[in-house]
Amino acid sequence: MLGVIGRLSRRSAGREETTLRPRTGVSARGGAERGAEHADPRRAFGARCTAGGPWRRTAPSPVRTAVVRVDRTVELAPESGIQHTGGVSVTPNASPASPDLVRLVGAARAVFFDFDGPLCRTFAGHPAALAAAELRAVVRRSRFEAHPDWADSDVPHRILWGVRKELADTGAPAGGDGDALVAELERVLARHERVAVTSAEPTPGAAELVRALRVNGRRLMVVSNNAPEAVSDYLRRVGVAEQFDGVIGRDAGDPLLMKPDPHSVVQAVRRVEIRAGECLLVGDQPSDHEAAYAAGVPFLGFARDAAAVARLRVGGAAHVVSDLRQVLAALTG
């Protein structure tokens, strides 16, 4: 269970207030289907999220600025061991960069991007459900006993993680049929991802931000739960591969190292040889925030809609933007 204790701190002078009420008792499985391909894979096992409310957001004033601040304590899932206390600011796509965002971006000597979401919509033209269907078929043929919380999932990463977790929990011997099954699932998922990136939709402003960050001397990495080959294919396709120092993708040998495990973020910090506190991870899922927090890396949330904002808030993200052009404005002044 994930609980939130909220205390609203609002600045409403001259602004109309609207109320954003997150659903309470929302199944994490249902929420993850929307951001399916890279949501927290641990939620395959029935984790649920209960969000306190209401949250309030201020509607834009004539100068098109709005700030959301929610002071709260967020207790993450028991296995995370993380507690985060702090305020949340959300910068809408029509407003200038906030001072907090300017400071956050300005302090980063290296910027890490989650792939699906901040850089593109990976499965925009090749549905993730197609990959999940093939993974489920592979599991059925193997006669592996599927856990009920992911047996019918349309989230392929959830299936891959779930099989590996079940094998680990039951003490399956290394090098046996279980490892062969995980390897086959990895091959199938990686193949679908490489097909998917040929029709992935670029996130508006992403390429411009990447190039501007590089011009301004930032080291750049992709830190993703996707196969590194698929990520590299996409970066070459959109002409930004040369802007990045490297790609840290899913470890084909151990899917349990996918985010929210901090493994990939730690690897990126080591690759750029910059202190963790001087790096910044841009991600669109609570699992991205959890991985960054555990690695000591500051985090900037990217949310396309109100539901995504709510998920990031519950996950503890202190800074959220709804348009990457806000980050570009913070960088260039």
What CA–CA distance (Å, rounded) separates 129 from 110? 34
C-beta atoms surrounding 11 within 10 Å: 11
Q: How far is CA 163 from CA 137, 191, 236, 250, 260, in A?
A: 13, 18, 32, 15, 17
Both tokens of 38, joined, read: 């890279």
Q: Is 83-122+202-332 in CATH node 3.40.50.2000? A: no
Q: Are 6 and 78 in contact (CB under 8 A)?
A: no
> Of 210, 214, 220, which is closest to residue 268 (Cα–Cα)?
220
Burial class (CB in 10 A: 0-12, 13-18, 19+), 54: exposed
Q: Render pLDDT for 270-302 as a digit per residue (tens, 0 to 9).
A: 999 999 999 999 999 999 999 999 999 999 999
pLDDT of residue 172: 84
The parts of the chain modelled with pLDDT lower than 50 are: 1-37, 44-88, 94
Question: Burial code of 270-291, b = ≥16 C-beta within 10 A, e = fewer?
Answer: ebbebebeebbbbbbbbbbbbb
> Of 322, 309, 329, 315, which is closest to residue 56 (Cα–Cα)?
309
pLDDT of residue 174: 79
What CA–CA distance (Å, rounded) separates 309 from 322? 8
pTM of the full structure: 0.75
Both tokens of 109, joined, read: 């000597």
Query: Is beta strand 201-202 parallel, antiparallel or unpaired with respect to 120-121?
Result: antiparallel
DSSP code, position 98: P
Residue spans per domain, the chain: 3-71, 83-122+202-332, 128-196
pLDDT of residue 39: 60
What CA–CA distance (Å, rounded) separates 35 from 46? 17
